[in-house]
Amino acid sequence: MSADLLNPAFTNEKAAIAHLEASRWPDGVNCPHCGSINVHRMGGKTQAGMFICNDCRDKFTARTGTIMERSHVPVHKWLLAIHLLNQGKNGASAHEIHRSLSITYKTAWFLCHRIREAMIDQKPTPMGGKGKSVQADETYYGNSSKRAKGYKKGHSHKQGVVALVEPKGRARVFHVKPATADSVRDILVRNVSRESELHTDESRLYVEVGKEFTAHKTVEHGWNQRGFYVGKDGQTTNAVENFFGNFKRGMKGTYRFCGEQHLQRYLTEFEFRHNNRSGLGVTDGERAAIALKGIEGKRLTYRISR
């Protein structure tokens, strides 16, 4: 058990609420409904963590307007779940969360998906830029068991994933079905500065859109016995292939239990940990704190009533 887990915010509800309030309102409490700072803390015994706004008269807590709203899971369990999902390279599975937090598997599963929403980059800035490169590649993902009913060879039954990766920098990953020249172009022009060099394998998907960037350099796909292929200008696609490798290893045994409608959430989780990784100087604790900052203003797509 890491020393972090002894933090009272993970075991004591009062400490957890104080931690959440400090994270959400570092400059003082303000009303989530009208933005007023003219608020006061309510005093009753059953009103722990509750505020009232003197302007709009609405009552609220630090959970109001976040992924934790309408959840009966105590704040300290949420904080522990966020911490566990941000540990190391692979985080934790819903099964581990279920066991560690003494909540049902179903509740743990909902919690994990809500936390993935908090990991969505709300204000993405263009990737790459002048003098920089961005690697793009696509892969296919899904159950390929030959015994599965209706098994088809090839990629037609699998889910397409397109990833953009800055060498030594950020990644951005998208579930597409299927990956076509159009869907790939759409992703590239929305996310990558045209002043960047685009580095890809020799797939036809990138030929046309490649002309829209400062340069488009290609390498043979995959790796040879000496490692990844390297083009004549030193270009590779190894950053994006490493990302896919990490994702597939991390997902092994997990994806089997979730449908394609959830693939983007898992991609977002891996993208978040990649973009806030120890190699960039971000500790596990800091990563969890960044995720906690992201709990506000997310579309409430799940209702947690258990």
Pair 93, 293: CB distance under 8 Å = no
Shortest separation between residue 51's beta carbon and Zn ion, angstroms? 9
* Smallest separation, CB 177 to Zn ion (Å): 43
Q: Do the strands 133-141 and 197-200 form a parallel or antiparallel pair, or are they unpaired?
A: parallel
CA distance 198 to 210: 7
Given candidates 16, 31, 62, 136, which one binds Zn ion under the rule CB under 5 A?
31
Q: Which residues are within 8 A (CB) of 45 and not within 5 positions of it... i.e. 6 or more apart?
A: none
Cα gap 54→68, rounded to integer Å: 24
Q: How many CB atoms lie within 10 A of CB 52?
A: 15
Interaction of residue 30 with Zn ion, rule CB under 5 A = no
- 201 strand-pairing partners: none
Closest separation between CB of residue 59 and Zn ion, Å? 10
CA-to-CA dists, residue 280 to 35, 168, 276, 277, angstroms: 34, 8, 7, 6
Binding mask 56-85 for Zn ion (x = CB under 5 A): x-----------------------------
282 binds Zn ion (CB under 5 A): no
- Span near Zn ion by CB under 5 A; candidates 47-55, 193-201, 242-250, 266-274: 47-55
Q: Measured from the CB atom, is 5 or 37 closer to Zn ion? A: 37
Q: Does 112 bind Zn ion (CB under 5 A)?
A: no
* Residue 37 engages Zn ion in binding (rule: CB under 5 A): no
Binding flag, residue 29, Zn ion (CB under 5 A)? no
**Which residues would be at the binding site for Zn ion (CB under 5 A)?**
31, 33-34, 36, 53, 55-56
